[in-house]
Chain A
Amino acid sequence: MRESVAHFGSVTQAREAARLGVWVFLATELMFFGPLFFGYAWGRLKLGAGFAAASGHTDIMIGTTNTAVLLTSSLFMALAVRAIEIGKRRAATRCLWITAALGASFLGLKAFEYLKEWHEQLIPWLDFRFEPPALRNGAALFYFLYFGMTGLHALHLTIGIGIVCTFARRLRSHSPAAMRAQLEGAALYWHFVDAIWVVLFPLIYLVERHG
């Protein structure tokens, strides 16, 4: 957006345009996840028993740990934005690196979880096994949506980590004031990815795990 600032009347106008642009983009993103959520709602209503049984096979320890990791990463993202606002470049850089590291640990844990599921033959398109057979279809649908939703989420997170790392490096040569608008946009995106996970967590791990 560097060269194109010229057609804006002022820096404030450019910043507000960028912020609105990110919000509209996030609205689009949310709708992109929509069919998967809709499919989930449908499956949960029609094949509830299979969904409950399949959810029981997920690893709630990893899921919960990951939720904590991601929420903490959002905290550090918010701190980074605050640090930029008050002009503390080094603190901002440090917060961004921590954010990225937490995001990467999330992905690491998620990969470990995928590996476990592969060993347990829970990947629907790779020799799927599920007992009892009566619940197989529901469980297959659950795991299809599980991999679809968490996979898409992981993809978003990977992009987010890339953005955060770029900004952390760029902060060395650019003034915090110049990067504030862009960082705000990136933070919105990061929190959005976090919020998606907060919805995914109960959908995946908490079905029938109450009581």
Chain B
Amino acid sequence: MSAEPSRAFHPSSYLHGGYTLASWLTTRDHKRIALLYMISITGFFFLGGAAASIIRLELLTPNGDLVDAQTYNELFTAHGVIMVWFFLIPSIPATLGNFLIPLMIGAREVAFPRLNLASWYIYTLGGIFVLITLLAGGVDTGWTFYTPFSTLFSRSNVVLAVCGVFIVGFSSILTGLNFIVTVHRLRAPGMTWFKLPLFVWANYATSAILVLATPILAMTLLLIAFERITHIGIFDPALGGDPLLFQHLFWFYSHPAVYIMVLPAMGVASEIIPCFARKPVFGYRTMAYAILGIAMIGFLVWGHHMFVSGQSMYASVVFSLLSFLVAIPSAIKVFNWTATLYKGSISFSSPMLYALGFVGLFTIGGLTGLFLAATALDVHLTDTYFVIAHFHYIMVGGTVMAYLGGLHFWWPKIVGRSYPETWARIAAVTIFVGFNLTFFPQYLLGVLGMPRRYHTYAPEYQLLNEFSSTGAGILAVGYLLPLAYLIWAMLRGKHAEANPWGATGLEWQTPSPPPQENFEEIPTDVPEPYAYRAVES
């Protein structure tokens, strides 16, 4: 018995399938697990953000007047470890991906729901280790855990921190495994590969990286912990080992990790931009191939982190060339988003503001990446604030911007209520301005030669650092705004329609919030992706 197709309110919404804490903690509903993830990563985001705030406060003046060198080292390590592994890596895949992939492909669940819940518990366990590390006094190696400092010299809690990251890696692996099988095996009848939304393509490619790269990091971290405890291992030069071996293994994971962060962000932008330009995405197939291209080439460029490390010069030349090569599919994506906007009926709703911000900031971050891929320039820029600015443009300007854009775009779907649009626009602009004010001066500081990871600096760098710290303050306000009004919207917002944006995609064909089983009936009539038509004027 299927009810008549009323789209207004659905009594069996996933939010109403049990109100107790236990019903949430034992849920196997991918939508609820997505929310569990969302709560956890938001907590870690603001924890990592707090560390960043103290860092920026310290850097207001050239002298170390707020924290000492050791505390400063622990602060930027905590910031890096938390933001990379406990926010950015799970951010879009584990929340929006978890919520949307089954909906977008017309499935009732992910392939392995219990594994999905297990992955959140593993994440939480890893998070507990990191919190214990912080309470026990922190760790001072930087998020990169470089040997021999981490194995022989550091007197902080390296083993505890490494355990936390080791554990959280398995949650990534299980999420990736689940998504791969889900996309392969659970697509609705008629949902062919080239009808998949680009968000699904992006998360699929990301999952492949998660599954293939994360175990390398896991084993490398085990070797670090073992070497630190027993003083035997493959990284200690005194025993015939080689610290460069560590760097190779670490970056073999950690460079693809950047694509783990940014590919899903590209997926989000590819959903939002066509919707608010009312045009099909330009070059759908090339977009899909570009995603796969980035994921594949991304595995072959890790050596560009090691140009000054003493690796073979010839290796550096090859890594440099490959790094330039990965810019091509990235550029294809930027050009295609731009071409999607061309002659579109563009409306500047808040998700669109975030998405456009993403494209601009990603472009700057990507282009400055080419500076660093050039071996000669890299010698000058290595370990300066230029590198910091570059990867923050990708990770914060890119990923966080797109994550927020996605949250706004799908928030009516997720909670079934709409948020105050004016506030959302104010927040988007505040974040964009705050972000650029924070990080653009850091490019200049890097070119001028200011090294990263010091709590003091030469007085001539002060003005630009003051700009940066002021920007960080604005950015902090920008991030607190959505926290406030999105929570408000969840409790008090107006009820949202099933498809408030007039968007294509199967997730919009089911009520907001979706019923527990996602669809009353599995959709069989799958439209072409992004079948938008221009608004009649």
Residues of A within 8 A of B (CB): 1, 4, 7-9, 13, 16-17, 20-21, 24-25, 27-29, 31-36, 38-39, 42-43, 46-47, 50, 124-125, 137-138, 140-141, 144-145, 148
Contact = CB atoms under 8 A, between A and B. Distances in A.
A28 B177 contact: yes
Contacts of B180: 20, 24
Contacts of B232: 124-125, 140, 144
B151 to A, nearest CB: 13
Residue among B28, B234, B249 with most chain A CB within 10 A: B234
B230 interface: yes
Contacts of A148: 223
Nearest to A135: B240
Nearest to B230: A125
22 contacts: A4-B109, A4-B113, A7-B113, A9-B522, A13-B186, A17-B112, A20-B181, A20-B184, A20-B185, A21-B181, A25-B177, A27-B211, A27-B212, A28-B173, A28-B211, A29-B215, A32-B216, A32-B219, A34-B216, A42-B234, A46-B240, A138-B240
A99 B211 CA distance: 29
Contacts of A125: 230-232
B14 to A, nearest CB: 13
Contacts of B239: 137, 140-141
Given A7-B517, A38-B249, A137-B240, 14 more contacts: A1-B112, A16-B185, A17-B184, A28-B214, A31-B213, A31-B214, A35-B249, A42-B234, A46-B240, A50-B240, A125-B232, A141-B234, A141-B239, A144-B234
Contacts of A8: 186
Contacts of A144: 232-234
A8 B112 CA distance: 10
A47 B245 CA distance: 14
Contacts, number: 101
A35 B216 CA distance: 6
Contacts of A47: 240
* Most chain B CB within a 10 A radius of its CB, from A17, A24, A46, A125: A24
Contact of A4 (B107, B112, B181, B242): B112
B245 A42 contact: yes
B446 to A, nearest CB: 32
Given A29-B215, A140-B240, A141-B240, A21 B112 contact: yes
A12 to B, nearest CB: 10
Given A7-B107, A145-B234, A42 B242 contact: yes
Contacts of B113: 4, 7
B473 to A, nearest CB: 42
B185 A36 contact: no
B438 interface: no
Nearest to A123: B232
B164 to A, nearest CB: 18
A33 B215 CA distance: 8
Nearest to B170: A28
B111 A34 contact: no
A36 B230 CA distance: 17
Contacts of A16: 185
B248 A32 contact: no
A46 B243 CA distance: 14
A37 to B, nearest CB: 10
B394 interface: no
Nearest to A138: B240
A21 B111 CA distance: 9
A17 B220 CA distance: 30
A33 B242 CA distance: 19
Contacts of B186: 7-8, 13, 17
B109 A7 contact: yes
A136 to B, nearest CB: 8
B218 interface: yes
A189 B248 CA distance: 29
A26 to B, nearest CB: 10
B232 to A, nearest CB: 5
Contacts of B220: 35
B114 interface: yes
A111 to B, nearest CB: 21
A47 B241 CA distance: 10
A36 B211 CA distance: 18
Contact of B245 (A1, A29, A39): A39
Interface string B197-230: 0000000000000011111101110010000001
